[in-house]
C-alpha cells in the first residue's frame, strides 16, 4: 500500500479519512496503531484478499489522512470516527483486526458506541494500564520542545523510535514508508500532537467492560515485544472470557511486519470460523 493505494476519502467528524479495499468476499477491517498507518498491513491484506474483501484506512492525523493544527486525534475521537466509517461502508458486523492503538479504537467503538463485529482479532493492543514507554511519556510532557527540533533531528528521532517496534529490524524502504508521513511542517506537528493527546483515561473507561465483549476474540502478540510486553497482553487475556491467545516467536511489536506469515495463518484460522 502506497499513497496511491489509499484512494478513497471519507469526510469524518475529525477530518478527511483516506481508505481503500482489496480482494472480494466477506468483509474484514484492519486498524493500524500509532505512530503507523495502514501501510503496516500491506502483506497481511494481500494474503487475506483472495478470501475476503479487506478494508484498510488511515486514522485522522495519520498516514495519508488529513493532518491539521488543532485536530483532535485522541482515542475517544478515533473510536467515534471508526463507527462513522463502518456506517459509511454499510458494514453491520464485519470481522475486525486491530493493532496497538487501533485495538483501543476497536474496543471503544464496540463497548461505548455499539459497533458490532462478528469476530475481533487484537494484535499487541493498547488496552490495559499502564501503557506508554518512558520515551512516549517524556515526549508527551514536552511536546512544545520536541516540536522545535530541526527537521533532520526530528526525522532521526522518529526513525529510531519506529525502528524499536521491530525485533528483527525493518528494511529501509519499509522504514521510510512509516517515517515519511511524520516529516515536513504538517507531519512533524502531527507526530507530537498524537503523542500529546494520548490519554490512558480513554482505556481506563473501557477496561472494566472487557468481560462484556460479545464477539469471539483472538489475542496475538510478539514474544519479543518491548513496547507492550507479553505480560501486558496476558493480563488483557485474563479479562476477556473465552479469548484465544497466540504468542508469536521472534516478533516484536510490529508483528504484521516481523512475522506476516505466522500472523496471517493465525488470522485465517480464526476469521474463517
pLDDT band at 12 (very low <50, low <70, confident <90, very high): very high
pLDDT above 90 covers a percentage of the chain that reads 92
pLDDT at 158 over 90: yes
Report the mean per-residue pLDDT for the chain: 95
In 3D space, the residue among 198, 160, 170 whose CA is nearest the CA of residue 34 turns out to be 198
Distance CA 166, CA 188 (A): 22
pLDDT digit string, tens, across residues 95-136: 999 999 999 999 999 999 999 999 999 999 999 988 877 888
Question: Residue 239: what pLDDT?
Answer: 97
Q: Span 78-94, mean pLDDT?
A: 98
**Ramachandran angles phi, psi of 129, nearest 5°:** -75, 150
pLDDT digit string, tens, across residues 168-219: 999 999 999 999 999 999 999 999 999 999 999 999 999 999 999 999 999 9
pLDDT digit string, tens, across residues 235-272: 999 999 999 999 999 999 999 999 999 999 999 999 99
Question: Residue 1: what pLDDT?
Answer: 53
pLDDT at 90 over 60: yes
In 3D space, the residue among 107, 98, 68, 109 whose CA is nearest the CA of residue 194 turns out to be 68
- Give yes or no for a contact between 22 and 6, defined as CB atoms under 8 angstroms apart: no
Question: Residue 3: what pLDDT?
Answer: 46
**Ramachandran angles phi, psi of 161, nearest 5°:** -65, -50
Q: Report CA 231 to chain centroid distance, whole Å.
A: 20
pLDDT band at 2 (very low <50, low <70, confident <90, very high): very low
How many angstroms separate the first and last alpha carbons of the chain? 27
Amino acid at each position: 500500500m502506497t499513497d496511491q493505494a489509499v484512494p478513497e476519502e471519507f469526510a469524518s467528524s475529525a477530518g478527511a479519512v483516506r481508505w481503500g479495499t482489496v480482494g472480494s468476499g466477506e468483509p474484514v477491517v484492519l486498524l493500524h496503531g500509532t505512530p503507523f498507518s495502514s501501510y503496516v498491513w500491506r502483506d497481511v491484506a494481500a494474503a487475506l484478499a483472495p478470501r475476503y474483501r479487506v478494508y484498510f484506512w488511515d486514522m485522522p492525523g495519520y498516514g495519508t489522512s488529513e493532518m491539521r493544527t488543532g485536530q483532535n486525534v485522541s482515542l475517544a475521537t478515533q473510536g467515534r470516527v471508526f463507527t462513522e466509517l463502518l456506517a459509511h461502508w454499510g458494514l453491520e458486523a464485519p470481522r475486525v483486526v486491530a493493532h496497538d492503538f487501533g485495538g483501543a479504537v476497536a474496543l471503544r467503538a464496540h463497548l461505548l458506541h455499539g459497533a458490532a463485529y462478528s469476530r475481533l482479532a487484537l494484535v499487541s493492543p493498547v488496552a490495559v494500564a499502564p501503557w506508554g514507554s518512558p520515551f512516549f511519556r517524556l515526549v508527551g510532557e514536552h511536546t512544545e520542545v520536541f516540536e522545535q527540533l530541526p527537521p533532520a533531528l526530528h526525522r532521526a528521532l522518529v526513525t529510531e523510535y519506529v525502528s524499536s517496534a521491530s525485533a528483527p529490524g525493518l528494511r529501509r524502504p519499509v522504514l521510510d514508508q512509516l517515517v515519511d508521513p511524520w516529516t515536513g511542517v504538517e507531519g512533524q506537528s502531527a507526530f507530537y500532537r498524537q503523542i500529546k493527546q494520548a490519554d490512558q483515561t480513554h482505556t481506563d473507561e473501557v477496561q472494566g467492560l472487557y468481560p462484556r465483549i460479545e464477539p469471539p476474540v483472538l489475542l496475538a502478540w510478539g514474544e519479543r515485544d518491548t513496547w507492550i510486553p507479553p505480560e501486558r497482553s496476558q493480563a488483557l487475556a485474563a479479562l476477556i472470557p473465552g479469548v484465544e491467545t497466540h504468542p508469536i516467536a521472534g516478533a516484536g511489536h510490529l508483528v504484521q511486519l516481523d512475522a506476516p506469515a505466522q500472523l496471517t495463518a493465525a488470522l485465517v484460522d480464526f476469521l474463517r470460523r
